[in-house]
Amino acid sequence: MAAFQQRRSIIKGDEVGPCYSCGTTVAFGGVKDQGFVFCNKQCHVRKAHFLRDIAAVPDRDATAEAQRIKAGRCHHCGKNGGVDIHRSVFVWSAILITRTQENKLIGCSGCARKKQALDTLGTVALGWWGIPFGLILTPLGLLMNLGQMISSSTKEQPSKYLTQYARERLARSAPRS
């Protein structure tokens, strides 16, 4: 779901990612629209309708839908409440290569904490062993996970990611005009 507007981050911004139309990884360039990434114009055109539908969803509706999801049931553990899109990064290295994988989880804060803790432990174990990026990206990844854990357990309002997700969901279910 490379569907969120965000400033480009050092680790892995949402502006870099799979093409929203065909799923191909877009490393550089590509076409960007409303926070979505496409590998080229053809892929962009293919989703133009949907992008228009998304833009047409009123902010008020998107926020209301996000609040509904937030208060709803967690798909992972079946408990109610606190559902949001929680994020974490996993960094691993093998001598000359260092990879960062950004994970998103839709679920309650309890399930998010488990996933974030797992990614943090994995990063501590596997992140450092790359020169030079392992040494740079591992502490960044750990800091980011720490920040995410804090915001996941304290935020009461739906995150902007959840609001964007809600907007997409409404756009998908809206009747075509």
Q: Which amino acid is at 3?
A: A
Q: What distance in Å separates the CA atoms of residue 118 and residue 16, rounded to the nearest whole number? A: 24
Task: Verify binding: residue 39, Zn ion, rule CB under 5 A.
Answer: yes
**Are the CB atoms for 75 and 110 separated by under 8 Å?**
no
Under 8 Å between Cβ of 35 and 1: no
Give dist(CA 127, CA 139) in Å, integer.
9
Q: Which of 32, 46, 76, 99 binds Zn ion (CB under 5 A)?
A: 76
**Is residue 2 at the binding interface for Zn ion, with CB under 5 A as the rule?**
no
Residues 86-125 that bind Zn ion (CB under 5 A): 107-108, 111
* Cβ proximity to Zn ion, 39 vs 171, nearer residue: 39
Reference 163, options 19, 58, 20; nearest CA is 58
Minimum CB distance to Zn ion, residue 73 (Å) = 9
Q: Look at the chain and count its residues.
A: 177
Q: Least separation, in Å, of the C-beta of 109 and Zn ion? A: 8
43 binds Zn ion, rule: CB under 5 A: yes
171 binds Zn ion (CB under 5 A): no
Q: Rule CB under 5 A: which residues touch Zn ion? A: 19, 21-22, 24, 39, 43, 74, 76-77, 107-108, 111
